[in-house]
Structure 1
Amino acid sequence: MAHIMTNPTVSNLQADLARQIVSLAGEKQWAVGQRVSDFTLAKQLGVSRSPIRAALVLLAEQGLLVHVPGKGYELARGQTGSEEIDNVAPPSQVETLYRNLMADRASGALADEVSEAELAERYGATRGALRKVLLRFAADGLAQRSRGHGWAFTESLVTDEVVSESYQFRLVIECGALRQPNFKVDQQELDSIRAAQKATLQSPAGTIRRDQWFRINAQFHETLVSWSHNRFLVQSVRQQNNLRRMTEYADFDKLSGSRIYDACAEHIAILDAVRDGDIDFAEALLRRHIERASRDLTDAS
């Protein structure tokens, strides 16, 4: 199979968009034969239709899509494994740099403060690519600019002690959110989140990607807390999700498929208890879920 990034005329943007489209196809469980709209994708991904169309051409060349005269593009086949996204749309230079930087920061290989010159030399990256990655870190709350060309990373969960404290904090925040006087469920949000959990639970082994899993997992916990309608609790869980992003991104390969399926089943049970108004049971399930996740991560390390 041809690789997108071997074509020098393909931009990083086109490659990244192709990857995002492949990710959406798996996450939303597109059916073979489903029409793929460049207009809809442009709105979803926040870009113009021109680079979307270029990305669709690339995916058609890889056999994931097929062009039907008069109709546009349709999904030609489903994904077959976790490596499929890299085969169909290999990571761009920026995406590869992002992955390497994320893994090194999570492992403690990078200091709390670094300069762009240091990073450029370490990774053999251009300043332009490096700046894009650092701005992405900043958007996720994982880094911020320092004076000159320096960058400071936010505190990450790099030791067992800090990880343990993080889970204890989450127990207080997330279980406490269920007990807030203004706690009220948004039924539409609950149905959407439950559907995403069920879709992941039904995904074939090996097809769940790290970015997809983090997004679905974080969305569950953040939305649950958002129903407390307490802005400070919501801010706290978002901060925790940002801290977890780096650690869980690096630790994903240690996470067994069975544990992901168990987590989805636990999420669904918690949502069902909340939907039924049984807050006591929902809190007990949530507490057990967080405590189990803490033990599993400690055992894996």
Structure 2
Amino acid sequence: MTVSGISNLQAEIARQIVALSAEEQWAPGERVSDVALAKKLGVSRSPVRAALALLAGRGLLAHEPGRGFVLARLPSGEDEMNGVAPPSEIEDLYMRVMADRAGGALADEVSEAELAERYGATRGAVRKVLMRFAAEGLARRLRGHGWAFTESLDTDEAVAESYQFRLVVECGALRQPGFRVDPEQLANVRAQQEAVLRAPPASIRRDHWFRVNALFHETLVGWSRNRFLVQAVRQQNNLRRMTEYADFDKLSAARIHDACAEHIAILDALADGDVDFAEALLRRHIERASRDLAGED
């Protein structure tokens, strides 16, 4: 199966490589190792090499004698990324199912045959998408060919309760006796937030924004050294994934900018050892996000 003459696997790996380059802050001229990427992505080197060649052919990578592939530049936006490596059949189907589930168009329980007919896809493609949902904690397999979606934030009441829960868990995490900031992690998370601030609004992709945003909140709670609090925030991030993927197009560039600025202020307060101020900023950040989503002034 191909998309615009590019194999689905090739397109999927190419997009994953670009996502990694943004998340890990690769610099122009940095060497891109097919061995390291194959290990990180859990695939063989052959499809990685094919994806690297694709990105080089589109000007995002360059091939230098004696060094191999190096980063030339990143895509200027989602439109260019789609031109370089269109979403694979699986990625496209994943997004369609995600949007329909977030919008309440899909029941709590579905069958592979039902989804295959609805989306005009093969049963194999549907199964791969559902397995991805399961890996993300968004669905579970039933006996036979049935699947059940996990609880999602599909009502205003559920969303409000989620924000109240996050206030308790995330702010409480900063007060745990074992709370300790990891300077290296703080620097990495801060660099990601700064990169989003610097990026042209059109270049910010929904998958990258979700990962950067979720990682910030997970990292803060992780510094509590409390495994149960970490599990709780990860579950909330999984629940948020559907609604935030579906609502990304409604999110203004100004709100993304403000969210990153607020994240950085919280990190700076923690770097200074001012946990009280950091907690107050985090509480205001979560409460503001809740009001914005509810459309309140």
By the TM > 0.5 criterion, same fold?
yes
The match for 1:202 among 198, 204, 215 is: 198
Partner of 2:67: 71
Please tell me whether the aligned partners of residues 4 and 86 of structure 2 are also in contact (alpha carbons under 8 angstroms): no
The match for 1:261 among 257, 277, 280 is: 257
TM-fit CA distance, 1:159 = 1.0
Secondary structure of the residue that 1:151 maps to in structure 2? strand
TM-fit CA distance, 1:62 = 2.1
The match for 2:4 among 3, 6, 22 is: 6
The match for 1:296 among 271, 279, 292 is: 292
Please tell me whether the aligned partners of residues 25 and 192 of structure 2 are also in contact (alpha carbons under 8 angstroms): no
Partner of 2:277: 281
Partners of 2:277 and 2:122 lie apart in 1 by 53
Corresponding pairs, count: 295
Partners of 1:226 and 1:27 lie apart in 2 by 19
| Code of the aligned partner of 2:4 | T
Partners of 1:279 and 1:104 lie apart in 2 by 41
Identity percentage over the alignment? 73
Partners of 2:89 and 2:43 lie apart in 1 by 19
The match for 1:141 among 117, 122, 137 is: 137
| Code of the aligned partner of 2:37 | L
Matched, 1:25 2:18: no
Secondary structure of the residue that 1:191 maps to in structure 2? helix
Secondary structure of the residue that 1:36 maps to in structure 2? coil
Provide, for residues 126-173 of structure 1, a one-character-per-residue CA deviation record: whole Å limited to 9, x for no partner. Answer: 111111100000000000011211000011111111101100110011
Please tell me whether the aligned partners of residues 36 and 73 of structure 1 are also in contact (alpha carbons under 8 angstroms): yes
TM-score (norm 1): 0.94
**Structure 1, unpaired ranges of 5+:** none
Please tell me whether the aligned partners of residues 64 and 75 of structure 1 are also in contact (alpha carbons under 8 angstroms): yes
Partners of 2:125 and 2:109 lie apart in 1 by 19
Secondary structure of the residue that 1:80 maps to in structure 2? coil
Partner of 1:156: 152
Please tell me whether the aligned partners of residues 102 and 246 of structure 1 are also in contact (alpha carbons under 8 angstroms): yes
TM-fit CA distance, 1:260 = 0.7
Partner of 1:105: 101
TM-fit CA distance, 1:283 = 0.8
Partner of 1:224: 220
TM-fit CA distance, 1:36 = 2.0
Provide, for residues 36-86 of structure 1, a one-character-per-residue CA deviation record: whole Å limited to 9, x for no partner. Answer: 221222222222211100111222222322333333223333322232211
Stretch deviating more after TM superposition (42-51 or 162-171): 42-51
TM-score (norm 2): 0.95
Please tell me whether the aligned partners of residues 225 and 234 of structure 1 are also in contact (alpha carbons under 8 angstroms): yes
The match for 1:94 among 90, 93, 96 is: 90
Give RMSD over aligned pairs: 1.5
| Code of the aligned partner of 1:259 | R
| Code of the aligned partner of 2:157 | E
| Code of the aligned partner of 1:292 | R
Partner of 1:124: 120
Partners of 1:233 and 1:31 lie apart in 2 by 35
Partner of 1:241: 237
Please tell me whether the aligned partners of residues 171 and 279 of structure 2 are also in contact (alpha carbons under 8 angstroms): yes
Provide, for residues 233-275 of structure 1, a one-character-per-residue CA deviation record: whole Å limited to 9, x for no partner. Answer: 1111110000001110001011111111111111111111112
Partner of 1:50: 46
